[in-house]
Amino acid sequence: MNPETPGTRFDALLTPLIRLSRNWVSRAGVFIVTAVAVFFIFLLPTMFSGAVSHPYLGILSFVVLPGIFVFGLVLIPLGLYLDRRRGGPQVLEPSERSWSNPMLRRLVMFIGVTTVVNIIIFSQLTYRAVHFMDSTAFCGTTCHTVMQPEFASYQNSPHSRVDCVQCHIGPGAAWEVKAKISGIRQVFKVLFNTYSRPTPAPVHDLRPAQDTCEGCHWPQKFATDRVRVISKYADDEANSVTKSVLLMRIGGGHLRKGIHGTHLEKGVTIRYRPADSKRQTVPWVELTREGEAPTVYLANGAKAEDMNKLELRTMDCIDCHNRPTHTYDMPESGVDRALAEGRISDTLPFAKKTSLELLKNQYKAGQDQQVADSFIEFYRSKYPEMYASKKAVIESSAAGLRAIYNRNIFPDMNVTWGTYPNNIGHMDFPGCFRCHDDDHKAANGKTIGQDCSGCHELLATDEKDPKILADFGYSK
């Protein structure tokens, strides 16, 4: 076919395309762009349903594809330019460059229409790319090993329906850009296998809680006291249970009361300087209440002149709730909770003791099945009759035990019991007692108090049958 002779209508439509791809480079470009456009049409149904759950498919569709698309587009003019330098024909010879020439009009139309289509395709793909990279599937599972601990703990947390980005990026373009730039650095760390194991915490450039947590929770909202029942199991044959009942003084509102109100109410600022990278020892605390002079509390033995070298941090939600979603257990509390929730049956003799021993053993990566197998083996060898009659209960308890292990131990990332301290409370980690130890003194002799009832009323402590629970109407 001679492209210069106007033939059928179809030929006429094709001539601009032929003119634009008279050399190999441009032809490859046209081919790539067309192929991506066809692929794009096949992608449309998934894009409308918004459900790309597989990270690699998502990366292919929304990250690699736009790249190939632009590459193809660039090839077209590049080919024309190279061809021209080699003395090839121009798209339009000088004699053809007149508006009365139908070829010129067709070419302008063609370029106009394809540009609009290309912009639609490209903007849709990149828009989806940004969306996709903000999805929990992308954050949680792309770099599988690296994010495994955080993703596993997240899935078991009260926030498992909150997207990673709502806490880690928050609203606004500036943080989005910041996160993407830091993301690129992290991609290289994963590619070159130079990331730290475990991922270090605290996250020093975490977005301040005012812009993230406070989009859903806010400290000025008064929360009434909250009752917590904590069950503990002994390591005897009967797994004897005792209960503590705590009335947590959450507080808030505008009363500067309770746990939230005292630290975070409007007009209250608490700053502190931790002495270690995990913020677990706090020698310097400063309390400022509007209209009053700041009070500085120094830990026993700390010297004021050494303090300026340390990180200065203004207290927000994260300083207590540092594990609102990546919450790990300690073996003891993990087993107690599983027993209380029935994931490990408390009807099995020595269930607590056996579970605890097995959890504390060391297993090689990928050998977590041993935790469950050993649990089953214990009952098979020590309680053969019970093993025969309660096989299902023993097996589901073994699975419950293995789940605790898998939620907390990640050998590839060097994450094990206690790797990430939790700052709520004071039992397993210093937590509140980093400051509330009666050992931080102000110049006037005042200390940050350890009065138990300032934080919680202890309605029962390790009691077998707390009367208060009966009063609440709990049955055993």
Q: Among the residues of 197-330, which ranges form H helices? A: 258-264, 317-320
Regarding 432 and contact with ligand HEC (CB under 6 A), the answer is yes
Rule CB under 6 A: which of 171-230 touch ligand HEC? Answer: 199, 201-203, 206, 209, 212-217, 219, 223, 226, 228, 230
| Beta carbon of residue 434, minimum distance to ligand HEC (angstroms, whole number) | 5
Segment lying near ligand HEC (by CB under 6 A), choices 39-47, 116-124, 387-395, 433-441: 433-441
DSSP assigned state of 251: B
| Beta carbon of residue 116, minimum distance to ligand HEC (angstroms, whole number) | 37
| Beta carbon of residue 230, minimum distance to ligand HEC (angstroms, whole number) | 5
* Angle, helix 351-360 to helix 391-408, in steps of 10 degrees: 40
Rule CB under 6 A: which of 86-125 touch ligand HEC? Answer: none
H/E segment holding residue 462: strand 456-463
Segment lying near ligand HEC (by CB under 6 A), choices 31-39, 282-290, 347-355, 406-414: 282-290
Q: Are 411 and 364 in contact (CB under 8 A)?
A: yes
Q: How far is it, in rounded angstroms, from Cα 354 to Cα 348?
A: 10
Rule CB under 6 A: which of 251-270 touch ligand HEC? Answer: 259-260, 262-264, 270
Rule CB under 6 A: which of 323-342 touch ligand HEC? Answer: 324-326
Q: Which of 19, 352, 402, 456 binds ligand HEC (CB under 6 A)?
A: 456
Q: Which of 282, 302, 359, 401 binds ligand HEC (CB under 6 A)?
A: 282
Q: Is the CB of 23 or the CB of 422 nearer to ligand HEC?
A: 422
Q: Which of 27, 197, 321, 353 binds ligand HEC (CB under 6 A)?
A: 321
Question: How many residues at the interface with ligand HEC, by CB under 6 A?
Answer: 78
Q: How far is it, in rounded angstroms, from Cα 24 to Cα 255?
A: 76
Regarding 58 and contact with ligand HEC (CB under 6 A), the answer is no
Phi-psi region of 311 (alpha: psi -120 to 50; beta: other; left: phi over 0): beta
Per DSSP, which regions of 221-309 are E strands? 226-233, 241-248, 268-273, 284-289, 295-299
| Beta carbon of residue 439, minimum distance to ligand HEC (angstroms, whole number) | 12
Q: Which of 450, 457, 463, 468 binds ligand HEC (CB under 6 A)?
A: 450
Q: Are 170 and 343 in contact (CB under 8 A)?
A: no
Burial class (CB in 10 A: 0-12, 13-18, 19+), 290: exposed
Q: Which of 191, 255, 427, 470 binds ligand HEC (CB under 6 A)?
A: 427
| Beta carbon of residue 40, minimum distance to ligand HEC (angstroms, whole number) | 29
Convert residues 129-168 into a mask of x (bound to ligand HEC by CB under 6 A) and - (unbound).
Answer: -------x--xx------x--xx--x---xx--x-x-xxx
Rule CB under 6 A: which of 291-320 touch ligand HEC? Answer: 315-320
Order of all β-strands in the sheet with 226-233: 226-233, 241-248, 456-463
Regarding 59 and contact with ligand HEC (CB under 6 A), the answer is no
Regarding 454 and contact with ligand HEC (CB under 6 A), the answer is yes
Token representation of residue 170: 């928050």
Regarding 244 and contact with ligand HEC (CB under 6 A), the answer is yes
Q: How far apart are the first and last CA of the chain?
A: 90
Rule CB under 6 A: which of 395-424 touch ligand HEC? Answer: 420, 424
Regarding 241 and contact with ligand HEC (CB under 6 A), the answer is no
Q: How far is it, in rounded angstroms, from Cα 90 to Cα 84?
A: 6
DSSP assigned state of 390: S
Q: Are strands 440-441 and 268-273 parallel, antiparallel or unpaired?
A: unpaired
| Beta carbon of residue 49, minimum distance to ligand HEC (angstroms, whole number) | 21
CB half-sphere exposure, 347, CA atoms < 13 A:
10
Q: Among the residues of 24-101, which ranges form H helices? A: 24-49, 55-59, 65-85
